[in-house]
Structure 1
């Protein structure tokens, strides 16, 4: 929240290509620290990891949107690129990375740090590709603007444009629930020490996410379907799916210690797969909305602003994870997602009021044109 937000926001002024290369360097250094058992060095690695994560979720997307617009490509292609990135990157590559990491640790017996070393090699390759093939682009490269001025400008943009503020709140609510789910799904499926196949479950989640992103590409590929509209339904479905652990805690009797996954666990597993499909829908859709509403000159800075309440909420949840039952934590996430659906409805209303009349008529007549 602290270091990542500051460094990530420098991308607008000093260049998105340079920031993307900085991501590779900082994460390589973070991976190297895993070889040390000393807490101080590991903490430095986490600081570097926080900086790298902030750059990962802002610099690359900002570079892509700016480069796409600079080359005059069709806006519809941007949506398809986002969908393919989530399908291949967050889905297929995530599964392959997990299998490869398992191969290094278990099959080849290279130790638990081996996946971090492999990551460093891949990051070095990625940095070489960025260095050799990317052009640089900026938000506002004005030398007169220091970091504080950038933050002030981003805060003014968020406060003065309701669409940006709503988008930031929606993103924080959904991603906060998503990261809470990442921490809690394992104890939720095995509350009594049940023996569950974690690798298979993770692969199933990733497949569900891939299906969601594939469906998103179809929705984003049709100009008559508004991303602001269908995302309301996505948030409602995701809210219902994370409400299942809360419901099953009252309706299904607890099982004995050990054994395989329980009946309640199977029901929750189904809901978690639905939630992961919603995650697959969420990423390309939120990227599309960010490309529409966030101003180019402060894109990275504003995107990192959105991550501040997200990181605060995750810290609060983790700090109090033992204070409440897991079912209550999932119930809170369901409430957050329901609020996100209400905010999404408001975003649709505000966005429609600002659209030009010609755009509305175009969307209304497109089905007739297709016929």
Structure 2
């Protein structure tokens, strides 16, 4: 079965390399040297930021357990992190529109470095503070950088279609290649070099500090709505009104929430699905295979989004439907034979699940550039970060509920729930396509809403 793992991994690696190196004329986008420099600068910073984030994942649970905390104590720490992202992160992330996106990106670096520093102390209260800072940082990472990119891209007068190139490359690097590199580096530091499990957090802080230096030296500031007449509450009300009044924004937020919750279920349960009795499987190798699948998906997305005859609203409906089918496999495979493991070998049902999970991760790789492009088109610039953080509230609520009631959810029920969510996303995507085809964007709608006029235009879902 080791040969099966290597066959899957090798096939994915070959597919990624082939697609990256064999662009046809339809896949090429003519870009300027100025945009190339701008894009590369952003990708370097984004990769450093993602390295700082990915380095902390592999040994967080292990570090807490080394400090003597049990599963329940560690669960509370993770709940605090997601709760902080939902509450404090939403507020701090929303301030980026008013106080400046560059400043918010620098704040991300500072708060995450402080979060890493708290890992040196075994006191539970300090670890809680670190999780709060980490939650705030996560919200900034997933909103401030994209908001800065979109605003700066438009301010410099670059072509709108070039954004798709940056988005797909950012996912390929930050969520794929850098994720693999970070996991290997963390393992090298702890296993090969035999350093303490806190060392990967120190390495993460170093990457974040380097990225912050580049931001301070080369990025200009941009804002959403810097008006001093609008306080944070007014900004929240305006963002909520925009979501409620514009069917496209509301549908986009619902789709994002459904996909993110489904991926959280997958990330949390794929190990249990492939080794239900805690059998020995090559976790690291399989995890890297999933990241390669995501890279393949982002490469496919870059091909699809550069073709003028293809609308992303159309093909994403099929992508969501395929991903829904893959989440059925853990349930169906039980009838083909439990994915038992013996000497590292998966059963036939386990092999089917593994292939399905790779397809799911490829679909996620297609999804992220898509959602970034749609947000750049539909979300009003004045409250981009605010609305993007609103979209993440359902995910954080769901995660907190699941962590708090971890024993109450069965694996079959969780994957079934994920399948339903993905099917719902496909249905909502169809509705989004219908609305997109039937009406044009109304940039004035946001201005009307912020002015509070009764004449604010709305579009029904």
TM-score (norm 2): 0.75
- The answer to whether structure 1 residue 170 and structure 2 residue 255 are counterparts is yes
Taking structure 1 as reference, are residues 163 and 39 closer, same or farther at Cα in structure 2, changes over 3 Å only? Answer: same
Unpaired segments ≥5 residues, structure 2: 1-85, 442-461
- Bigger Cα displacement from structure 2, 323-332 vs 230-239: 323-332
- The answer to whether structure 1 residue 321 and structure 2 residue 406 are counterparts is yes
**Which of 22, 26, 29 is matched with 2:111 structurally?**
26
The equivalent residue for 1:117 is: 202
> Secondary structure at the residue paired with 1:225?
coil
Contact 1:180–1:317 under 8 Å retained in 2? no
**Which of 339, 354, 359 is matched with 2:424 structurally?**
339
Whole-angstrom CA distance in 1 between matches of 2:112 and 2:344: 39
Contact 2:282–2:344 under 8 Å retained in 1? no
Report how far residue 320 of structure 1 moved: 3.1
- The answer to whether structure 1 residue 62 and structure 2 residue 147 are counterparts is yes
**Which of 265, 274, 287 is matched with 2:350 structurally?**
265
The equivalent residue for 1:79 is: 164
CA deviation digits over 1:303-322, x for unaligned, max 9? 00001111112222333332
- The answer to whether structure 1 residue 98 and structure 2 residue 165 are counterparts is no
- Bigger Cα displacement from structure 2, 178-187 vs 250-259: 250-259
**Which of 194, 211, 219 is matched with 1:126 structurally?**
211
Contact 1:205–1:276 under 8 Å retained in 2? yes
Contact 2:337–2:347 under 8 Å retained in 1? no
The equivalent residue for 2:14 is: none
- Bigger Cα displacement from structure 2, 210-219 vs 304-313: 304-313
CA deviation digits over 1:149-183, x for unaligned, max 9? 11000000001100000000000000011112111
Contact 1:243–1:330 under 8 Å retained in 2? yes
Report how far residue 248 of structure 1 moved: 1.3
**Which of 410, 433, 437 is matched with 1:352 structurally?**
437
> Secondary structure at the residue paired with 2:188?
helix
- Bigger Cα displacement from structure 2, 53-62 vs 321-330: 321-330
- The answer to whether structure 1 residue 310 and structure 2 residue 395 are counterparts is yes
Report how far residue 55 of structure 1 moved: 0.2
CA deviation digits over 1:99-137, x for unaligned, max 9? 111110000011111111000000000000000000000
Taking structure 1 as reference, are residues 330 and 231 closer, same or farther at Cα in structure 2, changes over 3 Å only? Answer: same
Whole-angstrom CA distance in 1 between matches of 2:417 and 2:398: 12
The equivalent residue for 1:362 is: none
Taking structure 1 as reference, are residues 259 and 127 closer, same or farther at Cα in structure 2, changes over 3 Å only? Answer: closer
CA deviation digits over 1:260-285, x for unaligned, max 9? 43332221111110010011001000
CA deviation digits over 1:184-221, x for unaligned, max 9? 11111110121111110111001000000000000011
Report how far residue 253 of structure 1 moved: 4.5
Taking structure 1 as reference, are residues 6 and 12 closer, same or farther at Cα in structure 2, changes over 3 Å only? Answer: same
Report how far residue 257 of structure 1 moved: 8.1
Taking structure 1 as reference, are residues 254 and 100 closer, same or farther at Cα in structure 2, changes over 3 Å only? Answer: closer
The equivalent residue for 1:288 is: 373
Report how far residue 300 of structure 1 moved: 0.2
Whole-angstrom CA distance in 2 between matches of 1:47 and 1:130: 24
- Bigger Cα displacement from structure 2, 288-297 vs 315-324: 315-324
Whole-angstrom CA distance in 2 between matches of 1:169 and 1:321: 24
The equivalent residue for 1:53 is: 138
Cα RMSD for the two superposed structures: 1.4
The 5 Å alignment of 1:220-231 reads 220-231=305-316
Taking structure 1 as reference, are residues 317 and 249 closer, same or farther at Cα in structure 2, changes over 3 Å only? Answer: farther
The equivalent residue for 1:361 is: none
